[in-house]
Amino acid sequence: MDLNAFYGVVSAINFTLLGLWWVAMRDRPEVGDRGASGRRMAYLVSLQFLIPGTMALLSQVAPDVPALWRSSFAIAGIAGAIGVILLAPMVDRIRDGGLVAAALRFIVAPLYAVVAVVALFPGLPKALHLGLTPLQVEGILLCLLVFLGVQIAWAVHMAPRPESES
């Protein structure tokens, strides 16, 4: 598949998922109504779609200028890792959120870190004999991040309502 087409699809999917997350939050206002912590959790979940979508969008601006996609992916990888590290303890506090919080800490945060590492060291895929270009490796990582982002949103949205609101 052409990488421009791939990143265009990934961008569209992520911004669609972001819109769906906003709609889902209207269905579960108590998630955001738990004060600053609830709003922060809803926002950090939204970053799971906003960051990959923005990365994919920026990769299309000037694909022949590697410094652009590399810098945007490095910044996004760092921001994504920080976001999931901040999100993990919040998810851990919701009932049955322990497994998702562990996935955030031990799978999603490292994936975002790998996004930043590949962007900063684009020769890494070749050095590891992966047979893929750096943008192809980043594309695979984005697919994994989108999949995991949907799982995170599902877990937060489908968490049991607090006892007082049931």
pTM equals: 0.89
Residue 166 lies in a domain: no
With respect to residue 34, please indicate whether it lies within any of the assigned structural domains: yes
Question: How many independent structural domains does the chain possess?
Answer: 1
* Residues 155, 114: Cα–Cα separation, whole Å: 24
Handedness of CA 37, 42, 47, 50 (dihedral sign): negative
Supply the range of the domain harboring residue 120.
3-159
| C-alpha 91: how far from chain center | 15
Amino acid, res. 143: C
Mean pLDDT over all residues of the chain? 90
Indicate whether 100 belongs to any domain. yes
Q: What is the pLDDT of residues 118-128, one digit of tens each?
A: 999 999 999 99
* 86, 151 Cβ separation under 8 angstroms: no
10, HSE (Cβ side, Cα atoms, 13 Å)? 32
Give the tens place of pLDDT for each residue, 30-45: 666 667 888 899 999 9
* Residue whose C-alpha is closest to residue 90's, from 46, 37, 148: 37
Question: Quick check: is 50 in a domain?
Answer: yes
Please report whether residue 14 resides in a domain.
yes
Tokens, residue 67:
């410094």
